[in-house]
């Protein structure tokens, strides 16, 4: 099946711990995105990447880091510097360089212990 | 900040009636618009899109209308069903195809059986 996968579905973080959320796509999309969604809220952009080995900060990048070593993978690390990490994290991808639809993964819910 | 907003945060409709969800955008350079549906605990799903050179586009039971004069976008759902209950987001692409989409806050649609 083609699509975007995110893992795990639920993730628990302890105080001072870094955790990494996985996002993989087999759609051959160039651009990938990470969004944060708080309860009853819209989507806020954390980081995005238009090509391999390149990425840009979004509106709320503080406390997060990313890498884009492979076209199909865009992992997000929530660092200990992110003081309020509890949220629903969504990964998306699209064909690069054109105004086209972004497709979303199923999301990862991060909870703090 | 956000340039995409919604007139109504919640909408309740009777099953079988038509639903209309509205969205205002502020960037006249936006050239591509998308409507997404998000069910609880899931990632947003693409519903329908429209480019700025069109003013109407129809899908299966859904129609998107674009009024560039007043910078307004709407999603019409015909014969609303219980499965349509979800949060609906509009999103706009502002110019370059590499620019991330900007999302509105969303409207919750509740269908009354």
Question: DSSP per residue over A9-32, as a string?
Answer: SEEEE-TT--EEEEEEE-S--SEE
For B26-79, what is each residue's pLDDT tens digit? 788 899 999 999 999 999 999 999 999 999 999 999 999 999 999 999 999 999
pLDDT-above-70 percentage for chain A: 98
Range of the domain at B34: 4-95+102-112
Looking at the complex, does the CB of residue B57 fall below 8 Å from at least one CB of chain A?
no
Q: Do B34 and A106 touch (CB under 8 A)?
A: no
Whether residue A34 is predicted with pLDDT greater than 70 in this model: the reply is yes
pLDDT at B8: 46
Indicate which of B10, B44, B50, B106 best probes the interface with A, i.e. most A CBs within 10 Å of its own CB.
B44
For B18-31, what is each residue's pLDDT tens digit? 999 999 987 888 99
Dihedral sign of CA atoms A103, B107, A11, A79 in order? positive
pLDDT at B96: 67
pLDDT at B2: 38
Q: How many domains does chain B have?
A: 1
Whether residue B104 is predicted with pLDDT greater than 50 in this model: the reply is yes
pLDDT at A2: 62
Bigger pLDDT: A48 vs B95: A48
For A1-22, what is each residue's pLDDT tens digit? 569 999 999 999 888 899 999 9
Looking at the complex, does the CB of residue B105 fall below 8 Å from at least one CB of chain A?
yes
- DSSP characters over A27-72: S--SEEEEEEE-TT--EEEEEEESSTT--EE-TT-TTEEE--SBTT
Q: Do A99 and B51 touch (CB under 8 A)?
A: yes
Average pLDDT across chain A, whole number: 93
- What's the whole-number mean pLDDT along residues A22-47? 93
- If you count residue pairs, one on A and one on B, with CB atoms under 8 Å apart, how many are there? 53
B1: confidence class by pLDDT, cuts 50, 70, 90:
very low
Q: What is the CATH number of the domain that holds B77?
A: 2.60.40.10
Euclidean distance between CA atoms A18 and A34, whole angstroms: 17
Whether residue A103 is predicted with pLDDT greater than 90 in this model: the reply is yes
């Amino acid at each position: 099946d083609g699509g975007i996968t995110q893992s795990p579905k639920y993730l628990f973080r302890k105080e001072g711990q870094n955790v990494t959320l996985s996002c993989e796509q087999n759609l051959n999309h160039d651009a990938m995105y990470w969004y944060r969604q708080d309860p009853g809220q819209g989507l806020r952009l954390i980081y995005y990447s238009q090509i391999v080995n390149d990425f840009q900060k979004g509106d709320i990048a503080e406390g997060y880091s990313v890498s884009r070593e492979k076209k199909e993978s865009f992992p997000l690390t929530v660092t200990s510097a992110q003081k309020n990490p509890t949220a629903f994290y969504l990964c998306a991808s699209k064909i690069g360089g054109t105004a086209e639809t972004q497709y979303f993964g199923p999301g990862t819910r991060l909870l703090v212990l | 900040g956000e340039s995409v907003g919604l007139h109504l945060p919640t909408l309740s409709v009777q099953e079988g009636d038509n639903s209309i969800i509205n969205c205002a955008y502020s960037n006249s350079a936006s050239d591509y618009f998308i409507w997404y549906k998000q069910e609880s605990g899931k990632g947003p799903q693409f519903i329908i899109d429209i480019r700025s050179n069109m003013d109407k586009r129809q899908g299966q039971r859904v129609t998107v209308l674009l009024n560039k004069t007043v910078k307004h976008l709407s999603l019409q759902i015909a014969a609303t069903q219980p499965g349509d209950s979800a949060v609906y987001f509009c999103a706009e692409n502002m110019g370059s195809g590499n620019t991330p989409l900007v999302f509105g806050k969303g409207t919750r649609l509740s269908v009354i059986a």
